[in-house]
Structure 1
Amino acid sequence: MTATRTAPETEPAATEEAGPAPRASRWRTAALATALTALLLGGSAFFYGAHQLRTTPSARNQALTDTAATTRVGGDVGEGLARIFSYTPTGSDAAERSAGTVLAGRAARQYTELFAQVRESLVAQRITLSTQAVRTGVIELDGDGARLLVFLDQVSRRGEGAPTTVAAQLTVTARFQDDRWVITDLRTR
């Protein structure tokens, strides 16, 4: 009789050991699946965030990243403004010729209107104007378009009178064409 009692006691023990093992295995599988899902979602969120950072307007603004292009646009625009806003009573033709190569679009129309007014008094009052770009800051540079803030010093003289120095600020829009920067819009600040 002892033999029959031993067998039933070992069978329930074996059944108890087999029961908890599948439950633990399912728990581990669920935990692993949850951790894997969390890692995938987290990685996707970081990838999306990095994409957003690369596609913001400031990331596309070459004025913040391309020193050579920024220097070139600043130099071309500053030199162009100095040429078109510098003239003497007998030398206004050079400024107008420069305007033909430096300006385009709205800026060319603005300059033509302004210079028509100046030309009337230029010879009669013997006005001399000398302009120098003191500081040129590129606000935005994107491919072949740029916006700049330009600080100018202008010295004017009427006849033999004392020179008058005036500071000016312009917001300039420029476009790269024919291997040079051309001013397309001028706005005083």
Structure 2
Amino acid sequence: MSTTRHLVNRQRRLATVAAAERTATPPRRTGAPGSEPHRPEAAGDTAVTADPADSPDSGDLSGEPEKEPAAPRGWLPRPTIRLPAVLCALTVLLGVFAVWSFTAAAGLNSDAARSNTALTDISRTSEVKGQISEAVGAVFSYNYAATAKSDQAASTYLVGKAVQQHRDMLAEVRAQAPKQKLVLTTTVTESGVELLDGNRARLLVFADQSNTRTGKSEETTYAAAMFAVDAVRRGGSWRISAIDTFTR
């Protein structure tokens, strides 16, 4: 009798445990295509217990920090270059270059200012302006009936490469003058001394030109000109050594 009651109680306990396990089992999830379906753990399967040594929290519980493994011999750590340090170095270099450039430019300007006496030597400046204005008016005026005067002016006021430059500039006038009976007159209206250094000078010249044809019907045309001339002082007189018409 007691044996029968024992078996009945055991079956009840097993049924209660089975019902509890079914209630605690989570609903079956539908896996993605190709994934392995959930397989309930069968009776007799051995549960895998994680090794405490494999846990990231495991280790020496003494409170001492874990030491990193030592680097192998012959290994050198790679230096790390940080962007702020690079920018700081570039800023310093640019600053040094700017200071050097400013100092060099100031030195050059001061040297040029000391040698250029166009603003300080008033009498010399007036002298070169007057003589070069006269020279320009003479060499850039031409009369078909008095060509010797133009040639004399060129030999008097021109030196260096200005001789050939003047010849090239008046070549067309000389060719057309006899046929059209041309009279070219040049008058300097204003001039300024840009550089005056000893016996050298550079001037900016503004001039008016009139071109008159004295043939059957007299006709006169007017034009304005602007150019620069280099001048040198020889034998007490200023002469034109180069002509710059600002054309390339």
Q: Same fold (TM over 0.5)?
A: yes
2:203 to 122, 125, 148: 148
1:173 to 230, 234, 237: 230
Identity between Structure 1 and Structure 2 (%): 34
Does the Cα contact within 8 Å between 1:53 and 1:59 map onto a contact in 2?
A: no
- State the match for 1:125 in structure 2: 180
Calculate the aligned-residue CA RMSD, in Å: 1.8
Structure with greater strand percent: 1
Higher relative contact order (CA 8 A, sep 6+): 1
Q: Does 1:66 align with 2:111?
A: no
C-alpha spacing 1:54/1:116, structure 2 compared with 1 (3 Å): closer
**Counterparts of 1:129 and 1:53, CA distance in 2:** 43
- TM-score of the aligned structures, taking structure 2 as reference length: 0.53
Give the CA deviation at 1:66.
0.5
Aligned counterparts, 1:13-52, within 5 A: none
Other-structure match for 2:221: 164
Does 2:172 match 1:111? no
In structure 2, how many angstroms separate the alpha carbons of the residues matched to 1:114 and 1:64? 32
Structure 1 position 79 matched with structure 2 position 138: no
> Higher helix fraction: Structure 1 or Structure 2?
1
Alpha-carbon separation, structure 2, partners of 1:168 and 1:53: 32
Alpha-carbon deviation of 1:141?
0.3
Query: Could you give the per-residue CA deviations for residues 23-76 of structure 1, whole angstroms, max 9, x where no partner exists?
Result: xxxxxxxxxxxxxxxxxxxxxxxxxxxxx6995312321101011111111111
* 1:60 partner letter: S
CA distance in 1, matches of 2:108, 2:244: 32
Mapped to 2, the partners of 1:120 and 1:182 lie a distance apart of 26
Q: 2:153 aligns with which of 93, 98, 120?
A: 98
Q: Could you tell me how far apart the structure 2 residues matched to 1:77 and 1:144 are?
A: 13
Cα distance between partner residues in 2 of 1:81 and 1:67: 21
Could you tell me the TM-score, scaled by structure 1's length? 0.68
Q: Is the 8 A contact 2:143 2:150 kept in 1?
A: no
Give, in whole Å, the separation in 2 of the partners of 1:86 and 1:102.
Answer: 13
SS at match of 1:56: helix
Aligned residue for 1:82, secondary structure, equals helix
Structure 2: runs of 5 or more not aligned: 1-106
CA distance in 1, matches of 2:209, 2:127: 23
| Alpha-carbon distance between aligned partners in 1 of 2:169 and 2:117, rounded to the nearest angstrom | 33
Q: Aligned pairs, how many?
A: 138
CA contact (8 A) 1:134 1:151 kept: yes
Deviations along 1:120-161, whole A, 9 cap, x unmatched? 211111111111110010000000000000001101111243
